[in-house]
Amino acid sequence: MANQTPRLSTPYIISTQSQKEVTHNMALNMLDALIQSAVETSILSVPPVSPGEGELWLVGSSATGDWASHDNELAQYMGGVWQFYPAFEGMAVWLKDDDVIARYVAGSWQKGVVTANRIDISGQQVVGAQQAAISDAAGGATIDVEARTALNSLLVACRTHGLIAS
């Protein structure tokens, strides 16, 4: 029988174990860090000088001090010591300082990236899949320079926002 859960690695209480409350409390602290996570920041590679009890941090790259060798992990300050939790594929955290979600994908954190097939507002689709490329306005028997300039500016904006292919 395994001694921890497969995804979050929270410890199981073993029937013959003494001090079961220690294992239970450890599992609760892990759940507190890993479920609906909100981290203070993701830009520090050195532990903060005065962390608050239970605060959660996303360790930056090339970490030093108590955070050394814990790059990209979550660090939780509990009982005067740091507890570290490795990120797993698809893990998401809220970055308090940036007001965005960061998601762990393919071995690194993607900050502020939203992936979706479409965006609906009040049940109405407002953004969907990217559409095929549209050429700039050119040619024609009658040329309206102002209209062509406005249309081409609109096409550039749609390409820049990824609404149509380049």
Task: Tell me, yes or no, whether 27 lies in a domain.
Answer: no
CB atoms within 10 A of CB 49: 5
Do 96 and 144 lie in one domain? The reply is no
CA distance 161 to 159: 5
Q: What is the pLDDT of residue 162?
A: 87
Number of domains the chain contains? 2
Task: Tell me, yes or no, whether 17 lies in a domain.
Answer: no
Exposed (0-12), middle (13-18) or buried (19+): which is 10, by Cβ within 10 Å? middle
What are the 10-residue block averages of pLDDT along the chain, 166 residues in total? 77 83 82 86 94 94 96 94 94 95 95 89 88 89 90 93 88
Residue listed under structure tokens 């609404």: 163
The whole domain housing 124 covers 119-160
Task: For Cα atoms 61, 27, 54, give the angle at the middle one, nearest 5 degrees.
Answer: 55
Q: Are residues 67 and 49 in contact, defined by beta-carbon separation less than 8 angstroms?
A: no
Task: Tell me, yes or no, whether 68 lies in a domain.
Answer: yes
Do 107 and 134 lie in one domain? The reply is no
Q: What is the pLDDT of residue 103?
A: 96
Burial 72-82 (b: 16+ CB within 10 A, else e): bbbbbbbeeeb
